[in-house]
Structure 1
Protein backbone atom coordinates (compact mmCIF):
# COMPACT_ATOMS: atom_id res chain seq x y z
CA UNK A 1 0.00 0.00 0.00
CA UNK A 2 2.76 2.45 0.94
CA UNK A 3 4.67 1.65 -2.26
CA UNK A 4 1.59 2.49 -4.38
CA UNK A 5 1.17 5.85 -2.60
CA UNK A 6 4.83 6.70 -3.26
CA UNK A 7 4.44 5.84 -6.96
CA UNK A 8 1.27 7.95 -7.25
CA UNK A 9 2.88 10.88 -5.43
CA UNK A 10 5.95 10.69 -7.71
CA UNK A 11 3.81 10.64 -10.85
CA UNK A 12 1.79 13.59 -9.59
CA UNK A 13 4.92 15.60 -8.84
CA UNK A 14 6.36 14.90 -12.27
CA UNK A 15 3.16 16.07 -13.99
CA UNK A 16 2.95 19.26 -11.95
CA UNK A 17 6.63 20.11 -12.56
CA UNK A 18 6.22 19.39 -16.28
CA UNK A 19 3.21 21.74 -16.34
CA UNK A 20 5.22 24.49 -14.61
CA UNK A 21 8.04 24.17 -17.15
CA UNK A 22 5.53 24.47 -19.99
CA UNK A 23 4.03 27.67 -18.54
CA UNK A 24 7.29 29.49 -17.78
CA UNK A 25 7.69 31.03 -21.21
CA UNK A 26 3.97 31.74 -21.73
CA UNK A 27 2.45 34.38 -19.41
CA UNK A 28 -1.15 33.56 -20.51
CA UNK A 29 -0.85 29.88 -19.63
CA UNK A 30 -1.89 28.71 -16.20
CA UNK A 31 -2.31 25.44 -14.38
CA UNK A 32 -6.09 25.88 -14.18
CA UNK A 33 -8.38 25.75 -17.18
CA UNK A 34 -10.24 28.99 -17.82
CA UNK A 35 -14.02 28.71 -18.04
CA UNK A 36 -16.30 31.55 -19.01
CA UNK A 37 -19.93 31.58 -18.00
CA UNK A 38 -22.63 33.74 -19.48
CA UNK A 39 -26.30 34.02 -18.68
CA UNK A 40 -28.76 32.96 -21.36
CA UNK A 41 -32.50 33.59 -21.27
CA UNK A 42 -34.69 30.57 -20.60
CA UNK A 43 -36.40 29.14 -23.63
CA UNK A 44 -40.17 29.43 -23.45
CA UNK A 45 -41.89 26.31 -24.72
CA UNK A 46 -45.49 25.25 -24.72
CA UNK A 47 -46.19 22.70 -22.01
CA UNK A 48 -46.55 19.25 -23.48
CA UNK A 49 -48.54 16.41 -22.07
CA UNK A 50 -47.09 13.12 -20.93
CA UNK A 51 -48.23 11.34 -24.11
CA UNK A 52 -46.87 14.09 -26.40
CA UNK A 53 -43.49 13.92 -24.68
CA UNK A 54 -43.35 10.13 -25.04
CA UNK A 55 -44.24 10.41 -28.73
CA UNK A 56 -41.56 13.07 -29.27
CA UNK A 57 -38.95 10.90 -27.53
CA UNK A 58 -40.03 7.80 -29.46
CA UNK A 59 -41.16 5.86 -26.41
CA UNK A 60 -43.73 3.12 -27.04
CA UNK A 61 -47.27 3.37 -25.73
CA UNK A 62 -48.12 0.81 -23.05
CA UNK A 63 -50.69 -1.73 -24.30
CA UNK A 64 -52.40 -1.87 -20.87
CA UNK A 65 -55.26 -4.40 -20.82
CA UNK A 66 -55.29 -5.15 -24.54
CA UNK A 67 -52.60 -7.83 -24.26
CA UNK A 68 -53.28 -9.02 -20.71
CA UNK A 69 -54.49 -12.60 -20.36
CA UNK A 70 -56.70 -13.00 -17.32
CA UNK A 71 -55.68 -15.82 -15.03
CA UNK A 72 -57.72 -17.79 -12.55
CA UNK A 73 -55.89 -16.20 -9.64
CA UNK A 74 -56.60 -12.62 -10.73
CA UNK A 75 -60.25 -13.36 -11.49
CA UNK A 76 -60.75 -15.03 -8.11
CA UNK A 77 -59.08 -12.12 -6.34
CA UNK A 78 -61.21 -9.52 -8.12
CA UNK A 79 -64.42 -11.48 -7.53
CA UNK A 80 -63.52 -12.01 -3.84
CA UNK A 81 -63.32 -8.24 -3.41
CA UNK A 82 -66.52 -7.71 -5.41
CA UNK A 83 -68.48 -10.22 -3.33
CA UNK A 84 -67.17 -8.63 -0.14
CA UNK A 85 -68.37 -5.23 -1.32
CA UNK A 86 -71.73 -6.68 -2.39
CA UNK A 87 -72.24 -8.42 0.95
CA UNK A 88 -71.25 -5.33 2.90
CA UNK A 89 -73.54 -3.13 0.81
CA UNK A 90 -76.42 -5.59 1.24
CA UNK A 91 -76.01 -5.66 5.01
CA UNK A 92 -75.88 -1.86 5.19
CA UNK A 93 -78.98 -1.58 2.98
CA UNK A 94 -80.88 -4.13 5.12
CA UNK A 95 -79.84 -2.31 8.28
CA UNK A 96 -81.02 1.06 6.99
CA UNK A 97 -84.16 -0.60 5.63
CA UNK A 98 -84.95 -2.04 9.06
CA UNK A 99 -84.62 1.43 10.57
CA UNK A 100 -86.52 3.38 7.93
CA UNK A 101 -89.20 1.11 6.45
CA UNK A 102 -92.64 1.26 8.08
CA UNK A 103 -93.31 -2.50 8.46
CA UNK A 104 -91.47 -5.18 10.41
CA UNK A 105 -89.33 -7.95 8.89
CA UNK A 106 -91.94 -10.77 9.13
CA UNK A 107 -94.37 -8.75 7.01
CA UNK A 108 -91.79 -8.34 4.23
CA UNK A 109 -90.89 -12.03 4.50
CA UNK A 110 -94.54 -12.96 3.99
CA UNK A 111 -94.61 -10.85 0.82
CA UNK A 112 -91.51 -12.59 -0.55
CA UNK A 113 -92.97 -16.04 0.27
CA UNK A 114 -96.07 -15.20 -1.76
CA UNK A 115 -93.98 -14.79 -4.93
CA UNK A 116 -93.45 -17.41 -7.63
CA UNK A 117 -91.21 -20.26 -6.29
CA UNK A 118 -88.77 -19.86 -9.22
CA UNK A 119 -88.34 -16.16 -8.36
CA UNK A 120 -87.75 -16.99 -4.70
CA UNK A 121 -85.18 -19.63 -5.72
CA UNK A 122 -83.36 -17.05 -7.90
CA UNK A 123 -83.41 -14.53 -5.04
CA UNK A 124 -81.99 -17.14 -2.67
CA UNK A 125 -79.21 -17.95 -5.16
CA UNK A 126 -78.51 -14.24 -5.66
CA UNK A 127 -77.99 -13.89 -1.91
CA UNK A 128 -76.40 -17.30 -1.17
CA UNK A 129 -73.72 -17.40 -3.88
CA UNK A 130 -71.79 -14.23 -2.89
CA UNK A 131 -71.93 -15.36 0.74
CA UNK A 132 -70.70 -18.91 0.07
CA UNK A 133 -68.06 -17.74 -2.42
CA UNK A 134 -66.67 -15.11 -0.05
CA UNK A 135 -66.80 -17.56 2.87
CA UNK A 136 -64.93 -20.35 1.04
CA UNK A 137 -62.39 -17.97 -0.47
CA UNK A 138 -61.86 -16.42 2.97
CA UNK A 139 -60.92 -19.86 4.32
CA UNK A 140 -58.51 -20.21 1.41
CA UNK A 141 -56.90 -16.88 2.29
CA UNK A 142 -56.60 -17.94 5.92
CA UNK A 143 -54.70 -21.03 4.77
CA UNK A 144 -52.36 -18.76 2.83
CA UNK A 145 -51.83 -16.66 5.96
CA UNK A 146 -50.72 -19.84 7.70
CA UNK A 147 -48.16 -20.38 4.94
CA UNK A 148 -49.91 -23.31 3.30
CA UNK A 149 -50.83 -23.94 -0.36
CA UNK A 150 -48.59 -21.19 -1.74
CA UNK A 151 -47.04 -22.90 -4.76
CA UNK A 152 -48.56 -22.07 -8.15
CA UNK A 153 -49.93 -25.60 -8.55
CA UNK A 154 -51.53 -25.52 -5.09
CA UNK A 155 -52.95 -22.02 -5.64
CA UNK A 156 -54.75 -23.20 -8.77
CA UNK A 157 -55.85 -26.44 -7.12
CA UNK A 158 -57.31 -24.62 -4.10
CA UNK A 159 -58.93 -22.11 -6.47
CA UNK A 160 -60.83 -24.87 -8.27
CA UNK A 161 -61.66 -26.58 -4.96
CA UNK A 162 -62.98 -23.28 -3.61
CA UNK A 163 -65.23 -22.79 -6.67
CA UNK A 164 -66.65 -26.32 -6.30
CA UNK A 165 -67.17 -25.98 -2.55
CA UNK A 166 -68.86 -22.59 -2.94
CA UNK A 167 -71.22 -24.07 -5.55
CA UNK A 168 -72.06 -26.94 -3.17
CA UNK A 169 -72.57 -24.54 -0.25
CA UNK A 170 -74.79 -22.35 -2.47
CA UNK A 171 -76.92 -25.40 -3.31
CA UNK A 172 -77.23 -26.26 0.38
CA UNK A 173 -78.26 -22.72 1.29
CA UNK A 174 -80.80 -22.55 -1.54
CA UNK A 175 -82.41 -25.80 -0.37
CA UNK A 176 -83.07 -24.44 3.12
Structure 2
Protein backbone atom coordinates (compact mmCIF):
# COMPACT_ATOMS: atom_id res chain seq x y z
CA UNK A 1 0.00 0.00 0.00
CA UNK A 2 2.79 2.44 0.91
CA UNK A 3 4.59 1.56 -2.32
CA UNK A 4 1.54 2.56 -4.35
CA UNK A 5 1.29 5.92 -2.60
CA UNK A 6 5.01 6.55 -2.98
CA UNK A 7 4.91 5.85 -6.75
CA UNK A 8 1.79 7.96 -7.17
CA UNK A 9 3.43 10.80 -5.28
CA UNK A 10 6.58 10.64 -7.41
CA UNK A 11 4.66 10.61 -10.66
CA UNK A 12 2.30 13.33 -9.50
CA UNK A 13 5.18 15.51 -8.34
CA UNK A 14 7.14 15.04 -11.53
CA UNK A 15 4.06 15.87 -13.65
CA UNK A 16 3.47 18.96 -11.50
CA UNK A 17 7.07 20.12 -11.90
CA UNK A 18 7.05 19.55 -15.69
CA UNK A 19 3.85 21.53 -16.11
CA UNK A 20 5.19 24.41 -14.02
CA UNK A 21 8.47 25.29 -15.72
CA UNK A 22 9.22 28.04 -13.22
CA UNK A 23 9.44 25.58 -10.36
CA UNK A 24 11.95 23.34 -12.11
CA UNK A 25 14.64 25.95 -11.88
CA UNK A 26 14.11 26.25 -8.13
CA UNK A 27 14.56 22.54 -7.42
CA UNK A 28 18.13 21.29 -7.21
CA UNK A 29 19.51 17.97 -6.11
CA UNK A 30 20.86 17.74 -2.58
CA UNK A 31 23.36 15.16 -1.41
CA UNK A 32 23.96 14.41 2.24
CA UNK A 33 27.45 13.47 3.27
CA UNK A 34 27.85 11.33 6.41
CA UNK A 35 30.44 12.48 8.91
CA UNK A 36 31.66 11.23 12.25
CA UNK A 37 30.03 12.66 15.32
CA UNK A 38 32.44 14.21 17.76
CA UNK A 39 31.19 14.09 21.31
CA UNK A 40 31.97 17.03 23.57
CA UNK A 41 34.60 16.37 26.18
CA UNK A 42 33.13 15.23 29.46
CA UNK A 43 33.84 17.91 31.98
CA UNK A 44 32.37 18.59 35.34
CA UNK A 45 30.45 21.62 36.50
CA UNK A 46 33.51 23.28 38.05
CA UNK A 47 35.76 22.68 35.04
CA UNK A 48 33.17 24.11 32.65
CA UNK A 49 32.73 27.21 34.82
CA UNK A 50 36.51 27.72 35.06
CA UNK A 51 36.81 27.44 31.28
CA UNK A 52 34.04 30.03 30.86
CA UNK A 53 35.75 32.24 33.51
CA UNK A 54 32.72 32.25 35.79
CA UNK A 55 33.29 32.94 39.49
CA UNK A 56 32.70 30.14 41.95
CA UNK A 57 29.86 30.58 44.40
CA UNK A 58 31.07 31.24 47.97
CA UNK A 59 28.58 28.69 49.42
CA UNK A 60 28.32 28.51 53.22
CA UNK A 61 31.73 29.92 54.07
CA UNK A 62 30.56 33.54 53.80
CA UNK A 63 27.78 33.17 56.36
CA UNK A 64 28.17 33.62 60.08
CA UNK A 65 27.04 30.44 61.89
CA UNK A 66 23.58 30.97 63.34
CA UNK A 67 22.02 29.19 66.28
CA UNK A 68 19.04 28.07 64.22
CA UNK A 69 21.20 26.40 61.57
CA UNK A 70 23.44 24.70 64.13
CA UNK A 71 20.46 23.40 66.11
CA UNK A 72 18.84 22.07 62.93
CA UNK A 73 21.99 20.24 61.84
CA UNK A 74 22.50 18.92 65.38
CA UNK A 75 18.93 17.61 65.47
CA UNK A 76 19.58 15.55 62.35
CA UNK A 77 22.95 14.39 63.65
CA UNK A 78 21.52 13.24 66.99
CA UNK A 79 18.78 11.37 65.12
CA UNK A 80 21.48 9.50 63.16
CA UNK A 81 23.46 8.83 66.34
CA UNK A 82 20.36 7.42 68.05
CA UNK A 83 19.69 5.17 65.05
CA UNK A 84 23.31 3.97 65.09
CA UNK A 85 23.10 3.30 68.85
CA UNK A 86 19.89 1.34 68.38
CA UNK A 87 21.24 -0.81 65.57
CA UNK A 88 24.72 -1.21 67.07
CA UNK A 89 23.65 -2.04 70.61
CA UNK A 90 20.85 -4.28 69.34
CA UNK A 91 23.25 -6.28 67.17
CA UNK A 92 25.81 -6.38 69.98
CA UNK A 93 23.16 -7.78 72.33
CA UNK A 94 22.34 -10.51 69.82
CA UNK A 95 25.87 -11.63 68.92
CA UNK A 96 27.58 -11.12 72.29
CA UNK A 97 28.67 -14.38 73.94
CA UNK A 98 27.71 -13.16 77.41
CA UNK A 99 24.55 -11.49 78.71
CA UNK A 100 24.45 -7.68 78.66
CA UNK A 101 24.46 -7.29 82.51
CA UNK A 102 27.84 -9.03 82.60
CA UNK A 103 29.35 -6.32 80.41
CA UNK A 104 27.77 -3.57 82.52
CA UNK A 105 29.29 -5.11 85.66
CA UNK A 106 32.69 -5.19 83.94
CA UNK A 107 32.36 -1.47 83.14
CA UNK A 108 31.55 -0.64 86.76
CA UNK A 109 34.69 -2.45 87.84
CA UNK A 110 36.86 -0.37 85.48
CA UNK A 111 36.25 3.23 86.48
CA UNK A 112 33.24 5.31 87.49
CA UNK A 113 34.46 8.15 85.24
CA UNK A 114 34.30 5.93 82.17
CA UNK A 115 30.81 4.78 83.14
CA UNK A 116 29.66 8.39 83.51
CA UNK A 117 31.16 9.31 80.14
CA UNK A 118 29.36 6.38 78.49
CA UNK A 119 26.10 7.32 80.21
CA UNK A 120 26.40 10.93 79.05
CA UNK A 121 27.24 9.90 75.48
CA UNK A 122 24.07 7.78 75.48
CA UNK A 123 21.86 10.30 77.29
CA UNK A 124 22.83 13.53 75.52
CA UNK A 125 21.69 12.62 71.96
CA UNK A 126 18.45 11.20 73.34
CA UNK A 127 17.71 14.27 75.48
CA UNK A 128 18.68 16.71 72.73
CA UNK A 129 16.56 14.98 70.09
CA UNK A 130 13.64 14.66 72.50
CA UNK A 131 13.60 18.28 73.70
CA UNK A 132 14.24 19.71 70.25
CA UNK A 133 11.36 17.57 68.96
CA UNK A 134 9.14 19.04 71.69
CA UNK A 135 10.28 22.49 70.57
CA UNK A 136 9.23 21.71 67.01
CA UNK A 137 5.85 20.42 68.20
CA UNK A 138 5.31 23.71 70.04
CA UNK A 139 6.16 25.54 66.80
CA UNK A 140 3.53 23.44 65.02
CA UNK A 141 0.92 25.05 67.26
CA UNK A 142 1.99 28.46 65.90
CA UNK A 143 3.74 29.69 69.05
CA UNK A 144 7.25 31.18 69.42
CA UNK A 145 7.73 31.65 65.67
CA UNK A 146 9.24 35.13 65.91
CA UNK A 147 13.01 35.51 65.69
CA UNK A 148 13.31 36.19 69.41
CA UNK A 149 10.96 33.26 70.17
CA UNK A 150 13.03 30.90 68.04
CA UNK A 151 16.27 31.95 69.74
CA UNK A 152 14.78 31.90 73.24
CA UNK A 153 13.33 28.41 72.77
CA UNK A 154 16.67 27.29 71.33
CA UNK A 155 18.62 28.44 74.38
CA UNK A 156 15.97 27.05 76.73
CA UNK A 157 16.06 23.71 74.91
CA UNK A 158 19.86 23.55 75.25
CA UNK A 159 19.65 24.31 78.97
CA UNK A 160 17.00 21.63 79.56
CA UNK A 161 18.99 19.17 77.42
CA UNK A 162 22.19 19.57 79.44
CA UNK A 163 20.31 19.44 82.75
CA UNK A 164 18.37 16.28 81.84
CA UNK A 165 21.43 14.58 80.29
CA UNK A 166 23.45 15.43 83.41
CA UNK A 167 20.66 14.08 85.64
CA UNK A 168 20.54 10.82 83.67
CA UNK A 169 24.34 10.55 83.80
CA UNK A 170 24.64 10.80 87.56
CA UNK A 171 21.53 8.84 88.58
> TM-score normalized by structure 2?
0.71
- Matched length: 139
CA deviation after TM superposition for structure 1 residue 46, in Å: 4.4
CA deviation after TM superposition for structure 1 residue 55, in Å: 3.9
SS in 2 for 1:172: helix
Is 1:97 the counterpart of 2:92 in the alignment? yes
1:45–1:128: structure 2 CA closer, same or farther, 3 Å change rule?
closer
Counterpart for residue 67 of structure 2: 72
Counterpart for residue 22 of structure 2: none
Is 1:59 the counterpart of 2:50 in the alignment? no
Counterpart for residue 164 of structure 2: 169
Please give the per-residue CA displacement for 1:91-114, whole angstroms capped at 9, x wherever unaligned.
Answer: 111111111111112111111111
Counterpart for residue 41 of structure 2: 47
Counterpart for residue 139 of structure 2: 144
CA deviation after TM superposition for structure 1 residue 134, in Å: 1.0
**TM alignment of 1:128-143, pairs within 5 A:** 128-143=123-138
Counterpart for residue 16 of structure 1: none
Counterpart for residue 110 of structure 1: 105
Counterpart for residue 153 of structure 1: 148
> TM-score normalized by structure 1?
0.69
CA deviation after TM superposition for structure 1 residue 118, in Å: 1.3
1:92–1:55: structure 2 CA closer, same or farther, 3 Å change rule?
closer
CA deviation after TM superposition for structure 1 residue 76, in Å: 0.4
SS in 2 for 1:164: helix
CA distance in 1, matches of 2:51, 2:119: 57
Gaps of 5+ in 2: 1-29
More helix by share: 2
Counterpart for residue 81 of structure 2: 86
CA distance in 2, matches of 1:118, 1:99: 27
Counterpart for residue 10 of structure 1: none
SS in 2 for 1:147: coil
CA deviation after TM superposition for structure 1 residue 161, in Å: 0.3
CA distance in 1, matches of 2:103, 2:135: 35
CA deviation after TM superposition for structure 1 residue 85, in Å: 0.7
